[in-house]
A and B are shown apart, each in its own frame.
Chain A
Amino acid sequence: MSTLLIMLAGVVILGAALLTVTRRNPVRAALCMLLALAGVGALMLGLRSPFLAAMQVLLYGGAIMVLFMFVIMLLTLREDEMGPEPSDGSKLGAACMSLLTLSVLWFGISRRGGASYETPRLGEDFGSTEHFATFLYTDYVVAFELVTVLVLGAVAGVIVLARSKHRTDLVRTKLSGREEGA
């Protein structure tokens, strides 16, 4: 049952991912990526991580994809603004590089042995939200707090980047005026 779900999700993920990287229209690419992300969520469900599956759908399928769609709709790119199609040479080079990487990874995976999901002592609560939260807020609470700092830094960075030049100049004149006044 679990293997079937994993294989099914795998087919969906790989197909949708291939469509994502080959579509010219960004909206179509984003919708294909949404399908791939949903597939990853299903895969996590098959690997007994329901909390992570929910987070995958909420964070990736919800927040990140909405951000992507928002930017795509905001820019409403014309054909000439997206740049030309990649040349066949660059496609071939990229395909060779990724196939090389894949063969190295494939070699490593096929050489490791003895991996199985046969786990007689697997706890009933493994992967449940309660079990997960117990670890998140005890053993890994420092990492959790550090991530909040990272998110704060990202928010500050986005605000700085999103400011228009005109607006920055306005603030600068105001600040310099205040300094002269003081």
Chain B
Amino acid sequence: MSVNYELRCRECGKTWGNVPRSFCEDCFSPLEVAYDYDSLKKIASREKLVGRAFNMWRYSELLPLPEDFSVPNAVGGTPLVASHKLASKWGLKNLYFKNDAVCFPSLSFKDRVVATALAAARRFNFTTVGCSSTGNLANAVAAQAAQQGFDACVFIPADLEPAKVLNTAVYGARIVRIDGNYDRVNRLCAQVADRFQWGLVNVNLRPYYSEGSKTHGYEIAEQLGWALPDNIVVPMAGGSLITKIAKAFRELVTLGWVQEKPVKFFGAQATGCSPISNAVKRGLTRFEPQKPDTIARSLAIGNPADGPFAIKLIRESGGWAEDISDREIVQSIQLLAETEGIFAETAGGVTIGVTKKLLREGRIRSDETTVVCITGNGLKTTDAIVAEYPLAEAIAPKLEAFEAYLDAQLTTPAVAKV
């Protein structure tokens, strides 16, 4: 049986079979994986998922995997956390966090895209894989390449958070630090892919890579009891994730796995790098590129390649895009941790802070079901909040010292001595 998907040009519609290529050689527009949904309906069903482990591979039929694919690792399958404290604080009846801060193996949603990209890399016989990355992707490529026996070479901006660099280096990946921001790194990688026979996951393997994002959306629908939310708030860097969640929802409707309903897509950015939200708010069809300046470095893409698609999706869905300041990002990370016990990276702070702003603007209503996407782990961006928590003086290991400490700390005598 041959596979039931192939690459198709978004603009001219020409099909290209399955090849490591991200743009149409006829019109240079982006390629994406197109499926034969009629044949998918015959081989895929919700019933077939029963008994499969809860990770992204339970949706294998809906992903562009080679025929001889065997599951290498248990990526995805992250919790959809029903909010209680924050929901009540904000007056929302149904608020959920899709928590990819605990995605296996490298603690961000990028594990999902790398999983499908490496399946493609193996199919196309690449032995070296790589990426341009703001950090999370490099972590995911390095970890999964190590496990699956690929050589890894990743390109990162030189000023990346030390934790993200370490979390790549530890897996033995070659790290090329580039003197320039992500957009410069990305440009170089487009040239590297042009010159070398490497599988660069977000360049020449990009159509297969980005399909992995769909599993974030499939899981949300399944965890909501095979239903779609009314609203979804998604962080935007290059603008790909939000469009792939939309694709996932559309596919589930096409396959008859969920009932059709309108879903509003809300995009979240940091004000210091907000080309997509800026375009949405100003009614532009083309975004204006920016020079990023924000602590949310995983979202710091000033020239978002999927920006035009994200803008169109947000607008057509009846959603909106917003952005918040670095100060609000820090406060939002703290808010999520203190109310829900989830420690998100800066991008998670962005979605939380933007959700709050959307509520204030009346764009999200209290009786609706809202899902907020948390895409990375706070342990990777501790430098963004470390200044909030200065270390207290150490005290002697004596009860009197602790009592003196409490006396000094407490403004009211709330702690009774026994």
* Bound pair (A, B): no
- On A, residues with C-beta under 8 Å from B are none
- On B, residues with C-beta under 8 Å from A are none
